Copies of this chain bind each other. A is one copy, B any other.
Amino acid sequence: MGWREGYIAVDWGTTNRRAYLIDGAGRLADSFEDALGLMAVPAGGFEAAAADIRDRLGDRPMLLAGMVGSNRGWREAPYAPCPAGADDLAEAILWIEPGRTGIVPGVCQRGAAGADVMRGEEVQVLGAVARGLVPPDATICHPGTHAKWIVMEDGRIAAFRTMMTGELFALLSAHGILADQLNGEVRADAAFEAGVRDARAGEGILSGLFRIRARHLLGETVGEPASYASGLLIGRDVAAGLKLHRGGPLALVGRPDLCALYAAALAGAGHETTQLDGAEAFLAGMHMLTEML
């Protein structure tokens, strides 16, 4: 059975996986999400974990993307170098079983632009452009554990930069002196705006984070500390990421809640953005790739 009669697309990450069944008309027919991310798959267990997907969604060709192609995943799919377009990804698919089960490679950057890597975001941004949801010369911000700022040129990934923003927030929330203060819900509220504003005014991460602790000890409240910390970190992320931006359209692709926070931070810096759900972009990207097979 070929790809034109329908296929399974899997976004397989470190902590969870999302699998989608696409029918012959390109429509989403079924899907599920579970916690069987890389960390939950035992050594040598990917064969069975993939068979389980077919048991649930049907015996179709299957295309996988994300950390499943990393050195901690099923099998390592070498990075496609920047600049990278959809054709580069399609050609470099690592076939577990030719024409039946393949892993989409990530994208890497070397040399003067600085070492960097991505796995999973490339499918989303190239899919968003192919579907016409994002202009082919946009600067795209993809928020997350490791947020990406991606410069598109003629519909290809020309350059990018990763920020450890989400991971740093998670570390601070789970461990260390601020953990007790950062367990609240992050919203684009006044405290978040204050964090963004302080970051834009030059407040650094090292001093700004400790100030959260100092204000607490001195009884100087500034709203929800988790929102402030998020605003400070995202504010610094945006200030650094905008250095890659050359003035074209600016788009956010990813988790809607995170995109909303980045949109607020970017609006504070005078930048209008469009927002696109990463799941929708992912399906667009996987469909684009299957059409090239």
Could you list which residues of chain A lie within 8 angstroms of chain B, going by C-beta atoms? 71, 79, 108-110, 114-117, 146-147, 161-165, 167-168, 170-172, 174-177, 204-207, 209-211, 213-215, 217-218, 220, 233, 236-237, 240
Between A and B, 23 residue pairs with Cβ closer than 8 Å are: A110-B220, A114-B211, A115-B211, A115-B218, A116-B210, A116-B214, A117-B213, A117-B218, A146-B210, A162-B207, A163-B207, A164-B206, A164-B209, A168-B205, A170-B176, A171-B171, A171-B172, A171-B175, A171-B176, A204-B240, A205-B205, A205-B206, A207-B240
Task: List 4 other contacts, CB 8 Å, given A162-B214, A168-B206.
Answer: A108-B214, A108-B217, A115-B220, A147-B206
Do A215 and B176 touch (CB < 8 A)? no
Question: Shortest Cβ distance from A182 into chain B, in angstroms?
Answer: 12
* Complex contacts, A114 vs chain B, CB 8 Å: 211
A217: contacting residue among B117, B165, B211, CB under 8 A: B117
* Complex contacts, A204 vs chain B, CB 8 Å: 163, 236, 240
* Complex contacts, A240 vs chain B, CB 8 Å: 204, 206-207
Do A218 and B110 touch (CB < 8 A)? yes
* Complex contacts, A209 vs chain B, CB 8 Å: 164, 168
Tell me the complex Cα distance, A167–B175, Å: 10
Tell me the complex Cα distance, A285–B163, Å: 43
Do A163 and B210 touch (CB < 8 A)? yes
* Complex contacts, A171 vs chain B, CB 8 Å: 171-172, 175-176
Do A237 and B206 touch (CB < 8 A)? yes
Tell me the complex Cα distance, A108–B210, Å: 13
* Complex contacts, A163 vs chain B, CB 8 Å: 204, 206-207, 210
* Complex contacts, A109 vs chain B, CB 8 Å: 214
Give the residue name and chain of the B residue nearest to A209 (CB): B164
Do B176 and A167 touch (CB < 8 A)? yes
Do A206 and B115 touch (CB < 8 A)? no
Do B117 and A162 touch (CB < 8 A)? no
* Complex contacts, A164 vs chain B, CB 8 Å: 177, 205-207, 209-210
